[in-house]
Amino acid sequence: MRELKVTHQNYAWGAFGTSSVRDLARANAARHGDGLSATDDADSVPFAELWAGTHPSGMSHIAPDDDAQSQTLLSYVQSNAERALGAECVEKFGKDVPFLMKVLSVRGALSIQAHPDKALAARLHAQNPGAYKDSNHKPEMAVAIGDFEALSGFVHAKTLAERLRRTPELASVVGDERCQAFIDCVSDDAKSDTERIRQAFKDVFRAIMTANHDVVRDATRALATRLKSAEPTSLDDAEAVYVRLIEQYPDDVGALCAFILNHINLRPGEGIYMAANEPHAYLFGECVEVMATSDNVVRAGLTPKFRDVDVLCDMLTYELGAPTILAGDVINACTKRYVPPFDEFALDVVSCAPGAALGVPARVGPSIWLISRGSATFNGTPVRPGAVVFVENQEPVNIIVDDDDDGDGFHAYACAPNV
């Protein structure tokens, strides 16, 4: 095992003051003798993401010891691929850690976005490497630390049809003819097959996302004025989310996605996964996020960053309905495992009482452990919150939690390939 010095990102939507990302970033830096600068650690600085992995935008480093000089995690696994990654992992994913692990502290909504599949990622990277940093796909999964809000996937067609009827400002952006065609398509169950409805939904979404700026401005302002003048308790869920989004991003077409995407409220320990080409946006809260090693994001709203609207509208699958909520599979008394339908990653959440001992069997491929609470010895090394550990292929883990641990015991997140 090797300890990692990790990085953090100060994106504008991150949390100010105390947050999981800030606390863990500060603790990890202190563990490696650095500490954060006074400028970086100020309450006025947003702490958005903590990264652990090999992506060049947030590379982790091996902590130096008697056996190894300081080097990037990527350099280390490439130089020791068979031992660190294992032959099966190398054959399947190449000489790299196949996953990226993050902690997110979300204060303001992230962009309306989707992540490309491998073929599209390769094309986008070749065409615009400044916006698309790598050629990999980016399926991902988020597990809530506390209460967590997101928009994920498109609502059912009948839900959108009803919202178009009830929200004239939204319908005005779609256009009368296209709006009525969609409502007729959804209403005519006997003649509407799944593909026809999906295409009609795509037409509505594209009409909204590509609408004239003046039309969007006038509609979003009129809708905001009407909803803000109503009694808050009279607003339905989509309307309440819209009011919040338009306050954060005035005149932004992305706020209308409150009516188009599923609003998801996760309780602590619940998770969702997003395949390639599925729309989503995180709204508020903290989570652990794992994904294939990529930073490719196609955006179309709720952001000052580059928007690739045509690409986003074309790439989406237009699967309709709410996403699957993961509760985690019980592995043992201390461990829940979250298993998405992707090869690159699965996530274990490990919680042990003070004085407990846990033996974790060897696994195929590497794993990265992030300690978020409590103190313990980890394969004989003392660890506390902020410690991040890289465990090599087929290396078992033995955890002994301190007897005098105060509070809720030991808590950690461990990501490994889903093989």
Asked whether residue 167 falls in the same domain as residue 274, the answer is: no
Asked whether residue 47 falls in the same domain as residue 177, the answer is: no
Asked whether residue 144 falls in the same domain as residue 172, the answer is: no
Within a domain: 388: no
Domain boundaries, position 205: 156-255
pTM recorded for the entire structure: 0.94
- CATH code assigned at 133: 2.60.120.10
Within a domain: 73: no
Within a domain: 237: yes
Within a domain: 355: no
Asked whether residue 119 falls in the same domain as residue 19, the answer is: yes
Asked whether residue 14 falls in the same domain as residue 125, the answer is: yes
Within a domain: 11: yes
Asked whether residue 239 falls in the same domain as residue 298, the answer is: no
Tell me which residue of 389, 409, 383, 372 sits closest to 288, measured CA to CA: 372
Domain end among 194, 220, 255: 255
Tell me which residue of 338, 370, 374, 371 sits closest to 356, measured CA to CA: 374
Domains of the chain: total: 2
Within a domain: 360: no
Phi then psi for residue 301, to 5 deg, are 180, 165
- Rounding to the nearest 10 degrees, give the CA dihedral for residues 181, 168, 206, 225: 180
Asked whether residue 28 falls in the same domain as residue 116, the answer is: yes
Within a domain: 80: no
Asked whether residue 52 falls in the same domain as residue 132, the answer is: yes
Asked whether residue 161 falls in the same domain as residue 219, the answer is: yes
Query: Which residues form the catalytic set?
Result: 299
Per residue of the chain (419 residues), give pLDDT as tens. Answer: 899 999 999 999 999 999 999 999 999 999 988 778 877 888 999 999 999 999 999 999 998 765 556 799 999 999 999 999 999 999 999 999 999 999 999 999 999 999 999 999 999 999 999 999 899 999 999 999 999 999 999 999 999 999 999 999 999 999 999 999 999 999 876 566 889 999 999 999 999 999 999 999 999 999 999 999 999 899 999 999 999 999 999 999 999 999 999 999 999 999 999 999 999 999 999 999 999 999 999 999 999 999 999 999 999 999 999 999 999 999 999 999 999 999 999 999 999 999 999 999 999 999 999 999 999 999 999 999 999 999 999 999 999 999 876 677 899 999 999 98
Asked whether residue 119 falls in the same domain as residue 27, the answer is: yes
Within a domain: 174: yes
How far apart are alpha carbons 192 and 181 in whole angstroms? Answer: 12
- The residues that bridge with 144 in the sheet, in sequence order, are 287
Asked whether residue 141 falls in the same domain as residue 176, the answer is: no
How far apart are alpha carbons 100 and 140 in whole angstroms? Answer: 9
Asked whether residue 133 falls in the same domain as residue 13, the answer is: yes
- CATH code assigned at 191: 1.10.441.10
> Which residues have a Cβ under 8 Å from the Cβ of 204 and sit 6 or more positions away?
160, 164, 174, 178, 179, 182, 260
